[in-house]
Amino acid sequence: MPSSTSSSDPQIRPVPALPWGRVLVTGILLTVVGLVCWEIYWRSQDFEPSFRNSDGLWAMTRNRIDREGPGGTAVVGSSRLLFDLHLEAWREETGTLPVQLALEGTDPRPFLAHLAQETDFAGLVLVGVAPPLFFTPDIGLRASLLEYYRNESPSQWASQRISMAVEPYIAFYSFDTALFTVLRRQTIWPERDVGSALPVVRKLSNMQITRQSPMWEKLEHDEAYRDMARSTWLEFLNMPRELPPPEVLKAGFENLLASVKTDVDTIRSRGGEVVFVRAPSTGPFREVENGGFPRERMWDVLLEHTGTLGVHFEDHPDLQDVEVPEWSHIRAGDTERWTRALIGHLRRGLDARGTSRVELKP
């Protein structure tokens, strides 16, 4: 009888007879040469090392809320507050660094609900409102992020930190330069009509460790790239959308208002405050937003129903005095001035309502 301890003859795997030392050295050398060439190519395309806009970085940032206590400022929203808010300027103005939780292409309502229901956050919450995302039922691109956050494993936690040790040094270590992302966006492939697929948005910003995400300078300086970004937005804006019947839309909007009010009230009951911010858009974006989501029927109703302060860029010339290269986000150079102006409006607005916040004190 074979023994599991000694007497059996386990199958020993064969090793091909090759000069493996030479294979190892040559293989490593070729790989390194390939990677260096790849890095040089992407740097020549104006890419620079930055942090990856990963679920893990969001989770790290989100953990600041538990670590730093119930006060402070948290930002939920979509790409506009993510790109437009200058976090260092905010810190200089108020003494604290906001927790930047805004997510591109994503409805902030589930994240407001998360702050209200799953934390004891009692500070100031800035909610960015991009009407096509906020007032529609789809959560958007990063819908699965909260699930990731709730179930992040020790391995994912560690991978995030190891990855961040590499990210600041390698330009090609970016979602935008991944091999198959690059392959799929080439124009050589046969055309095929597959209906209304969501257009793929190319790189627009460079993320920093605080999740400050200023617009990529290429959008300012490279006309062709800016035109391409604009054409992507046009594609997005012109997508056919099947709208539900008016009564369903109305009921959906009423439910939306009710759920947002519940979350606002929950945060307020702990001593916190919520404000809504409508950041600038221009060109076709603004036309579609104003046409499809009229301010008086959506934004104004939201503020009235929740009893909150809202800062809308159309009400303030200093919030409009910025360059918006691709119609949706402020150029990096204008974000500092815009952020300081926004803080001023928030202070005055809350003071006028008798709800001044310690988070905004100079």
Residue 176: how many CA atoms within 13 Å on its side-chain side?
Answer: 22
Q: Which is nearer to another protein, 172 or 299 (CB)?
A: 172
The distance in angstroms from the start CA to the end CA of the chain is: 82
User: Minimum distance from CB of 24 to another protein (Å)?
Assistant: 5
**Do residues 313 and 342 touch, judged by C-beta distance below 8 A?**
no
Q: Which is nearer to another protein, 97 or 143 (CB)?
A: 143
Round the CA-based radius of gyration of the chain to a whole number and report it: 24
Among 40, 69, 138, 158, binds another protein (CB under 8 A): 158
Characterize 69-102 residue by residue with b for buried, 16 or more Cβ atoms within 10 angstroms of its Cβ, and e for exposed. Answer: eebbbbbbbbbbbbbbbbbebbeebbebbbbbbb
The arrangement of strands across the sheet holding 99-100 comes to 99-100, 73-76, 124-128, 273-278, 309-312
Among 45, 119, 156, 259, binds another protein (CB under 8 A): 156
Among 45, 63, 159, 259, binds another protein (CB under 8 A): 159
Q: Which is nearer to another protein, 184 or 250 (CB)?
A: 184
Alpha helices in 167-203 (DSSP H): 179-184
Is 358 near another protein (CB under 8 A)?
Answer: no
User: Minimum distance from CB of 44 to another protein (Å)?
Assistant: 16
Nearest CA to 278 out of 226, 325, 330, 221 is that of: 330
Q: List the x/- string, 296-335, binding to another protein by CB under 8 A.
A: ----------------------------------------
DSSP character at residue 72 = S
Among 28, 209, 228, 248, binds another protein (CB under 8 A): 28
Which residue bears the tokens 């909150």?
308
For residues 34 and 167, give the distance between their C-alpha atoms in angstroms, rounded to a whole number: 18
User: Minimum distance from CB of 52 to another protein (Å)?
Assistant: 9
**Do residues 136 and 107 touch, judged by C-beta distance below 8 A?**
yes
Q: List the x/- string, 232-271, binding to another protein by CB under 8 A.
A: ----------------------------------------
User: Minimum distance from CB of 155 to another protein (Å)?
Assistant: 4
For residues 73 and 123, give the distance between their C-alpha atoms in angstroms, rounded to a whole number: 6
Task: Name every residue whose Cβ is closer than 8 Å to that of residue 113 and which is 6 or more positions away in sequence.
Answer: 259, 263
Is 169 near another protein (CB under 8 A)?
Answer: no
Q: Rule CB under 8 A: which of 170-199 touch another protein?
A: 172-173, 175, 177-180, 183-184, 186, 189-195, 197
Is 51 near another protein (CB under 8 A)?
Answer: no
Is 26 near another protein (CB under 8 A)?
Answer: yes
User: Minimum distance from CB of 49 to another protein (Å)?
Assistant: 14
Is 13 near another protein (CB under 8 A)?
Answer: yes
User: Where do contacts with another protein occur on this chain (CB under 8 A)?
Assistant: 1-8, 10-24, 26-31, 34-35, 38, 153-156, 158-159, 162-163, 166, 172-173, 175, 177-180, 183-184, 186, 189-195, 197
